[in-house]
């Protein structure tokens, strides 16, 4: 609770004079004063719990300002400003800012705010204490800045070591920066160290990165003026350059050679790879083995595994020969193989290509394609391709044999097979065909013998197919009803006529009769494929002679959107569509819940007429015990409602809300759906011009 003691204290003067002001006695309590504690200016406040003394120095905008002064022993100051000379004893604590511009002695001073030590003289922090932390500049929560103005240096000198340690877990935990101009340098210099670690950059668990922003070939220099340069690593050593130049990474021995050695096990190879450019090995020495690739224990592979078309492996000797030689005594001593493409052997000028052997010469191909083995001449009009057997006398001296396929002989001119003895052209085996084909001309089979079977097409076990890209014409000039006859004479044989999709057309100058002695069908299949029966100028009559239910059956069974429709386009008579039963009835059945059977006339009337003189000549019946009969008409008018006509007289039954006032035939009964009393439930029209009288009903 705030203390307010602003009323002045007064006392009697000696001799009975007027009252005099008395300086207020100190406020003694166990807490520090606040801005709400108010008294006369100069009022003292003693906090006995901390041995602190406060003086009220001002009251501004209703807030009191209490100032404190140091006491003996441990003292806590909100702030301290020294402008001339001060001697601060031990154990002083400044909770705010320490600003010193005069001569000041600071002993065991703790400052939680900022420290400003100024003036034109030298600042000398010196101690004779022989201990590791004789002078400590520390900030328990903030940073420590050491700044020298002008062109003066900041020197840190020690007869012992100089340790710069940061415990911050962040980037730039220790940051050494020069930001004075383009001539600035940062120099880490060991004057007398002779060990290999006289300057040591070490990271226990992380890496070391050298980064330079200089756009120069020597942006980062590692130089040993007298000794060597070792780069050792437990893992990979990567040398990478992002420069877009032919010599982006360069290893140069200006006086000696270059050795690249790997002591790895099998599979731990020396790989030289270029992802986007080429690899060039060049030697300028004029000797037989100027460039030598040798494997003293294993083989040598030359691969272009990622090459595109045209990016070949070329072995070129501009003025000398190319020799491929093997001393291994095996059938595949020299192998020239292409696993995916072809092999070309070309000799220029008039020199031949000779393939010879003291054994056989085999030309084979495993390619599954036409032209797997091709012998081709393309030198001029006098060229020939000759297969010659010089000494063979057997029937198969030249044997053209296709063990699984056929033999094709093509010629731009004629092909002549001449034999001096009886000959045959026979194929054998089930499913082995014999084809006579003329690509652009005719195939003429000519039998000169005068016999009934001068030309015989005979299939002893199978059928005969006649296929053509154009029409197949079967014509007869015989004047007979069966001039062309297709006959399947076997008792179990049928006739099957199929087309590929163009349809079938049967035209006759007379009638067409399709007769069958057994049950038959005429159907089409497929979505949207219609079956039409049409008579252009006559009738379409469907007649059934069987005395049975479903004698004529129209059936749709495709889906919920299907309909059966009887439609007369142009008929104007009342019976343009007529359902007629001479002696039986007509039944309309529907399994649909709701409007199962609907009769609609979009512009005319719906007329139901019965000619029988009985009470139920026209009958509306609902068989469900909870079902009713509903008659729906338009809005109330003289023509709406349920009209009852007897001769020339007519009246109606109508239903609506509110009292009636519309025109209706005289005698019309009106049932009011919102009537709530005995005189508002029913009305009767007393004329045809909107006069109604209410009917009194029982309560």
Read off the pLDDT of residues 629-679 as tens digits, 9 standing for 90 and up. Answer: 888 888 888 888 888 888 889 999 999 999 999 999 999 999 999 998 999
Q: What is the b/e burial string over 594-619, where b = at least 16 CB atoms within 10 angstroms of the residue's CB?
A: eeeeeeeeeeeeeeeeeeeeeeeeee
Q: Are residues 64 and 82 in the same domain?
A: no
Q: Are residues 78 and 113 in the same domain?
A: yes
Q: Are residues 50 and 14 in the same domain?
A: yes
Looking at the 3D structure of the chain, how many domains does it have? 3
Q: Is residue 680 part of a domain?
A: yes
Q: What is the b/e burial string over 67-96, where b = at least 16 CB atoms within 10 angstroms of the residue's CB?
A: ebebeeeebbbeebebeeeeebeeebebee
Q: Is residue 647 part of a domain?
A: yes
Helices and strands (DSSP H and E) totals, the chain: 0, 21
Q: Is residue 520 part of a domain?
A: no
Nearest to 135 by CA among 156, 116, 113: 156
Which of 50, 69, 88 is at the close of a domain?
69
Q: Is residue 98 part of a domain?
A: yes
Q: Is residue 103 part of a domain?
A: yes
Q: Are residues 637 and 692 in the same domain?
A: yes
Q: Is residue 143 part of a domain?
A: no
Q: Which residues of the chain have pLDDT under 70?
A: 6-18, 20-22, 69-129, 138-142, 349-350, 419-422, 452-454
Q: Are residues 644 and 662 in the same domain?
A: yes
Q: Is residue 385 part of a domain?
A: no
Cβ contact 50:26 at 8 Å: no
**Rounded CA separation 643/637 (Å):** 12
Residues 6+ apart with CB under 8 A from 650: 643, 644, 665
Q: Are residues 58 and 95 in the same domain?
A: no
Q: Is residue 221 part of a domain?
A: no
Give the helix/strand (H/E) hosting 94: strand 92-94
Q: Are residues 99 and 58 in the same domain?
A: no
Which of 42, 69, 96 is at the close of a domain?
69
**Rounded CA separation 59/67 (Å):** 12
**Which pLDDT value is given to residue 71?**
46
Residue 688: give the domain boundaries: 633-699
**Which pLDDT value is given to residue 236?**
83
Asked whether the whole model's pTM tops 0.85, one would answer no
Q: Are residues 86 and 45 in the same domain?
A: no
Give the helix/strand (H/E) hosting 297: none
**Which pLDDT value is given to residue 129?**
66
Read off the pLDDT of residues 436-489 as tens digits, 9 standing for 90 and up. Answer: 777 777 887 777 777 756 677 777 777 777 777 778 887 777 787 777 888 877
Which of 120, 140, 155 is at the close of a domain?
120
């Amino acid at each position: 609770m705030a203390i307010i003691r602003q009323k002045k204290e007064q006392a009697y003067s000696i001799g009975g004079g007027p009252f005099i002001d008395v300086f207020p006695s100190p406020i003694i309590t166990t807490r520090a004063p606040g801005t709400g504690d108010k008294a006369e200016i100069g009022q003292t406040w003693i906090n006995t719990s901390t041995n602190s003394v406060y003086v009220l120095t001002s009251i501004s905008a209703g807030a009191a300002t209490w100032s404190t002064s140091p006491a003996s022993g441990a003292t806590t100051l909100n702030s301290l400003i020294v402008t001339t000379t001060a001697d601060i004893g031990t154990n002083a604590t400044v909770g705010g800012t320490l600003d010193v511009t005069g001569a000041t002695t600071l002993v065991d001073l703790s400052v939680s705010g900022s420290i400003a030590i100024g003036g034109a003289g030298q600042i000398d922090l010196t101690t004779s204490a022989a201990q590791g932390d004789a002078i400590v500049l520390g900030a328990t929560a903030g940073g420590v800045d050491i700044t020298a103005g002008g062109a003066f240096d900041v020197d840190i000198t020690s007869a012992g070591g100089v340790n710069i340690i940061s415990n911050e877990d962040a980037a730039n935990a220790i940051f050494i920066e020069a930001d004075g101009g383009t001539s600035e340098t940062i120099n880490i210099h060991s004057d007398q160290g002779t060990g290999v670690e006289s300057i040591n950059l070490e990271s226990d668990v992380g890496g070391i990165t050298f980064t330079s922003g200089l756009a120069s070939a020597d942006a980062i220099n590692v130089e040993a003026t007298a000794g060597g340069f070792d780069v050792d690593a437990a893992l990979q050593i990567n040398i990478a350059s992002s420069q877009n130049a032919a010599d982006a990474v360069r290893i140069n021995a200006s006086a000696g050679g270059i050795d690249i050695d790997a002591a790895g096990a099998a599979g731990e190879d020396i790989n030289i790879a270029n992802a986007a450019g080429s690899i060039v090995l060049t030697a300028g020495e004029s000797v037989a083995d100027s460039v030598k690739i040798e494997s003293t224990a294993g083989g040598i592979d030359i691969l272009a595994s990622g090459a595109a078309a045209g990016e070949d492996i070329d072995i070129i000797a501009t003025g000398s020969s190319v020799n491929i030689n093997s001393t291994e005594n095996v059938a595949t001593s020299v192998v020239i193989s292409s696993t995916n493409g072809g092999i070309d052997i070309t000799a220029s000028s008039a020199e031949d290509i000779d393939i010879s052997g003291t054994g056989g010469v085999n030309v084979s191909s495993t390619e599954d394609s036409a032209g797997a083995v091709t012998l081709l001449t393309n030198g001029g009009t006098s060229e020939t391709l000759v297969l010659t057997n010089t000494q063979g006398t057997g029937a198969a001296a030249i044997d053209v044999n296709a063990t699984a396929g056929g033999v094709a002989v093509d010629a731009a001119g004629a092909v002549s097979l001449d034999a001096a003895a009886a000959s045959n052209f026979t194929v054998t085996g089930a499913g082995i065909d014999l084809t006579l084909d003329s690509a652009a001309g005719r195939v003429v089979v000519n039998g000169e013998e005068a016999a009934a079977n001068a030309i015989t097409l005979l299939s002893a076990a199978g059928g005969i197919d006649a296929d053509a890209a154009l029409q197949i014409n079967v014509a007869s000039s015989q004047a007979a009803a069966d001039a062309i006859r297709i006959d399947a004479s076997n008792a179990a044989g049928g006739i099957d006529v199929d087309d590929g999709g163009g349809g079938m057309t049967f035209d006759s100058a007379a009638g067409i009769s399709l007769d069958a002695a057994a049950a038959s069908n005429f159907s089409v299949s497929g979505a949207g494929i219609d079956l039409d029966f049409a008579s252009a100028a006559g009738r379409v009559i469907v007649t059934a002679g069987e005395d049975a239910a479903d004698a004529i059956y129209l059936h749709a069974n495709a889906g919920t959107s299907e309909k059966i429709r009887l439609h007369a386009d142009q008929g104007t008579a009342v019976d343009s569509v007529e359902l007629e039963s001479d002696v039986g009835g007509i039944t309309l059945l529907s399994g649909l819940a709701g409007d199962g059977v609907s009769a609609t006339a979009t512009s005319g009337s719906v007329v139901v007429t019965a000619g029988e003189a009985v009470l139920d000549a026209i009958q509306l019946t609902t068989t469900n015990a909870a079902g009713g009969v509903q008659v729906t008409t338009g809005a109330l008018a003289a023509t709406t409602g349920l009209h009852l006509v007897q001769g020339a007289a007519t009246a109606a039954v109508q239903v609506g809300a509110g009292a009636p006032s519309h025109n209706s035939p005289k005698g019309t009964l009106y049932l009011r759906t919102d009537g709530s009393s005995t005189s508002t439930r029913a009305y009767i029209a007393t004329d045809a011009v909107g006069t109604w009288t209410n009917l009194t009903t029982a309560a």
